[in-house]
Amino acid sequence: MTGKEIRALRGTLGLSVGALGSKLGVEAATVLGWEREELFPTKRALESLMALQGEAEGKDEGVIQALADPAVWELLRKVLAHPELRLEVERIAAGYPDPLKGS
């Protein structure tokens, strides 16, 4: 796993350098070293990173499956057709991370 891939995974998961380090049991400086490719993950850390990557990909699949649901599209049409509903949905959604961006 390259530094760029680690940085992208961290972004997908919506984690700070420190939060990813905590999940993996390493210091934030270690994660930064991996991202800059000045350091390289241990086998254990790499296995943990790959497990997190699998979880992130599972999130993507869940979103893709949801897009096949006609009820989702009905809800989207309502949100687009009614400005007051859109404002309310935006207010509520602000507290939730984007599962594809992690933010």
pLDDT digits (tens, 9 = 90+) for 35-88: 999 999 999 999 999 988 887 777 666 667 777 889 989 999 999 999 999 999
**Contacts of range 21-29, beta carbons closer than 8 Å, 24 or more positions apart:** 23/48, 23/52, 24/48, 24/49
Is 100 part of a structural domain of the chain?
A: no
pLDDT, tens digit (0-9, with 9 covering 90-100), for 16-39:
999 999 999 999 999 999 999 999
Is 101 part of a structural domain of the chain?
A: no
Whether the model pTM is above 0.85: no
Contacts of 27 (CB under 8 A, 6+ apart): 21
Q: Is 34 exposed, middle or buried (0-12, 13-18, 19+ CB in 10 A)?
A: buried
- CATH number of the CATH domain containing 21: 1.10.260.40
Is 88 part of a structural domain of the chain?
A: yes
Is 102 part of a structural domain of the chain?
A: no
- Expressed as residue numbers, the domain containing 43 is 3-93
Is 99 part of a structural domain of the chain?
A: no
The count of structural domains within the chain is: 1
